[in-house]
Homo-oligomer: A and B are copies of this chain.
Amino acid sequence: MTPLFYREQEKFYVSVDCIILGFKDGKLYLLISKRKFEPQEGQDTLMGGFLRSDESLSETVSRVVLEYTGIQDVYMEQVGTYGEIGRDEGERVVSIAYYALIDLEMFDENVCEIHNARWEEVEKVGKLVFDHNQMLRDTIEILRRKTATQPIGFNLLPEKFTLPQLQALYEAIYQTTLDKRNFRKKILEMEILEKQDEKDKSSSKRGAFYYTFNKEKYDQLLQKGYYFSL
């Protein structure tokens, strides 16, 4: 039963917008699609969905991400909430932005086609509807800060990855180039990566060793007060 005081209040549409990011060939990609209803039908947009009363916010995000990528259990973080009065021209909508990091190898191309969705290089994204460009900018800023201090970048890579791949990922996020030796030294001395016996020969003749991220070791480090930093 709704308390009396609440009933005097106004209600609002609440949506989530998802900044779904993937990484491939040294570049960050954003999943965008054409908006399927008015206003701004046909324009490029982030993936979004309205909050339902039987869902928490993160459940709404999971639903949207699953719908557009076919992937479950993705890493996600809240970016912020956008509540300007006129931000959605259709109606007053308060939107909570989340970013999700996915491994593009898990991505289902068919799901993509169904929704007219496509992967666009983050650096080449054009005008999106409403304040979605702002959401993307805010995401990149958060991602840069967060990847520098927490090992979340691995969510954008397959379970097994090579150090050149990992370095390329950081270079794509920071939009800079890093020194190979310094990068390897720093990431390896944290001892959170496990070297595998196999090599990835897809990008060189010599091949690069695969590594995996060892979450247990990382958690142990945290216990001891060490911090991830790159």
Interface residues, chain A, with chain B CB atoms under 8 Å away: 2-6, 9-14, 37-39, 50-57, 78, 80-81, 83-85, 90-94, 96
By a CB distance below 8 angstroms, the chain B residues around A96 are 81, 83, 94
Asked if A10 and B52 make an inter-chain contact with CB atoms under 8 angstroms apart, the answer reads yes
User: In the complex, A85 Cα to B60 Cα: how many Å?
Assistant: 12
A90 CB contact (under 8 Å) in B6, B12, B56: B6
Compute how far the CA of A54 lies from the CA of B81 in the bound complex, rounded to whole angstroms. 17
CB-CB under 8 A from A78, the residues of chain B are 80-81
Q: How far is the CA of A65 from the CA of B111 in the complex (A)?
A: 46
**Structural contact, A51 and B12, CB atoms closer than 8 A:** yes
Once A39-B3, A78-B80 are accepted as A-B contacts, the answer to whether A14 and B94 lie under 8 Å apart by CB is: yes
Known: A57-B83, A85-B56, A94-B51. A13 touches B3 (CB 8 A): no
Q: With a CB–CB cut-off of 8 A, which chain B residues contact A38?
A: 3, 5
Given A2-B90, A5-B37, A10-B50, 10 further pairs, Cβ under 8 A: A3-B38, A4-B37, A6-B91, A9-B13, A11-B13, A12-B13, A12-B53, A57-B81, A78-B81, A83-B96
CB distance from A157 to the nearest CB of B (A): 26
* Assembly CA distance A39 to B83 (angstroms): 26
Q: How far is the CA of A52 from the CA of B10 in the complex (A)?
A: 6
Q: How far is the CB of A138 from chain B (nearest CB, A)?
A: 10
